[in-house]
Structure 1
Amino acid sequence: MKLPSLRRARPTELPGVTGVVRLDRRTKNLTKRLKPGEIAVIDHVDLDRVSAEALVDCRVAAVVNVADSISGRYPNLGPEILVEAGIPLVDGVGREVFSILHEGEQVRLDDATLYRGHEAVAKGMAQDSKSVAELMDDARSGLSAQLEAFTANTLEYLRREKDLLLDGVGVPAIHTPMEGKHVLIVVRGYDYREDLVALKPYIREYRPVLIGVDGGADALVENGFVPDLILGDMDSVKDETLKCGAEVVVHAYRDGRAPGAERLERLGVESIEFPATGTSEDIAMLLADSKGASLIVAVGTHNSLVEFLDKGRPGMASTFITRLRVGAKLVDAKGVSRLYRSRVSTFQVVALMAAGLFAVGVAMVAIGADDVVWSILRARWGDFVYWIRELFT
């Protein structure tokens, strides 16, 4: 009897998602160094929308959260964004993973378990569209408690900052003139990229004073603009942007501590301190208002209760009061990219102009134009081609 020949089995790839691991307890710091295909390990209770969108933009292979992405306090928006983008999300693996894993190691995520080689180092709960929807439904029942806390924080902010809000006490002297001018404040928040692109014609026509709040200054630079003033904690803006020549205002605590000032000192960048509670976007609005801005256009800022809660900070109550203080001066640019898009595309404009030039050429042939006329037409054609090239570059 002839025995069947034995073939050596080819090694098969291990199941799950494999990639280099990056770890950071602050998500916004982690997104600065994440590369496509890597696995992000974060410590982020109630993952907010802005952080989730940043992770999606980094094109991570998976997200492992040592905390609960949805704690149930309120319906936060981040987990749904990750799941809809097809990015695996695992929750509650435990904070000890930060001491077990080292950045740059090769890891594998399979069935809610994180492996280093063949060793299982952490296990959590995998989230999908169904589980996220169920958790969001449960979280909506906790909104009443969050509203009570929000109200209490609002009253506390009013008590602490009544002099700043009512009389502008504590606003520093700055060099950037704003009296009677439009001021555009850019925060790296919801839809800031799309809205900033949509506002380019407005910026070119009205030449507003450009204020970048932390990473919002980078957004201005990325779109070809140089900020006039950079304001914030200085924890999420690039070194090159800080050195662009803009005036820099550091958001400091009421007790005088300004962690961002140390970084600026190392970079050799002069700055002015603005001690105040609340968020950096709040004091940017209060600064523009106190310096006489005629109009304040806000990009990427928070303007609804869901957004205030989704930010995950008790201090977001200050943003609500600040908006009441600034009043009619404030124009929110949120969603302008979805509200208006030009009905005439660039291609249609080019096609129309090409058709017009063709018609002129036919007319010249018909009337027997001389060499001088043709040389003029060739020169105009050259100008047209140059304009088209500039349009697309």
Structure 2
Amino acid sequence: MKDRENKVPDISVIVPVYNIKEDFLRKCIESLLCQTLKDIEIILIDDGSTDSSGKICDEYGNTDQRIKVIHQKNMGVAVARNTGLKAAEGEWITFVDADDWCAPEMCEETYKKAVGLDTEILIFTNYAVKENNEIAPNQFFKADIALFDYTMKNEAELKTMVRSHPDFSFQPPENMMGGTWCKLIRHTFLKQTGICFEPELVRSQDIIFYLNLFEKAKKISYYNCPLYYYRYSSDSISKRYRPDAYKVFLIVLRKQDEFIKKYKKPQLFREVFIKGTMITIGTCMRTDFMHEQNKESFGEKSRRLRQMISFEPIRSALNSHEDRSLNKFQWIQKILLKHHLIKLYLILYKMNAAVLKVIR
């Protein structure tokens, strides 16, 4: 690496780490050490790991001066990424998840492309690695885009919003646009915006981060080349029992609602938001109200669901007339909830879930 007193690194790679499988973590770090672009710094933020992850980070940190290891108490991935941003010295910033890995040429290819285009944000694409080790290239757009116009920026933001709703009609790769990875961000631009990850968001921090960052950017480019390997798992947290899950999702919905209103986004954003709200309600049903581990009475579930739909922006979404993006089942659910037919809604949802279980 070049003398850092004379030159800052070309790229800072920020990697939050928390209780990662050893073979996954080692593969991630080694893929960064093998980058063909050598003038990089690798920032490993151990977010209070209770396994050997922190020691593994130190092991690599002691063998390569390009690695910075930061240990902190567990405060969540948003705080960990912000810690990485504060420590970063590179001209450009990129994020990597500790259970993923990168192509050897990722940093070099994206750096050359971003500098050549004089862009502020370079979006590139990835390979989805499924649990059976099947690897499929993803494609956010059909070809390289040197500079996003107004329409393309809106499309990128819409796909970012969709990313927060894994059940949306878009399937990978379209719903991966909002992932933290596969972006190269000019450091000076990021500092000027003052945008960082919001610690209050337990999930979907990357969605809100990139919505606001895309909106502030004047130069966004797309490089249609998969250089990142993302481990795509069907056994996601969306299937686990999460009591009062809506309280987490509610914050994300409010942030999206604020974004749409603040920047006076086109009507399509509102339609996507309404559909996303219905999907969020469905996710809460699956992970909380109707989960097999939920032992509440029917009456208690009804009471809590009534409470959930009374909060903004869910209430306004249910009362809206923007139904064009909803499928028939979502439209029926919306009508039932809008008119507070809670018990009928719960019965319908349970019947539909039973039918889907048989079909699958």
Q: Note whether the superposition's TM-score is higher than 0.5.
A: no
Q: Which has the higher contact order (CA 8 A, sep 6+)?
A: 2
Normalized against structure 2, the TM-score is what? 0.24
Larger radius of gyration: 1
Normalising to structure 1: TM-score of the pair? 0.22
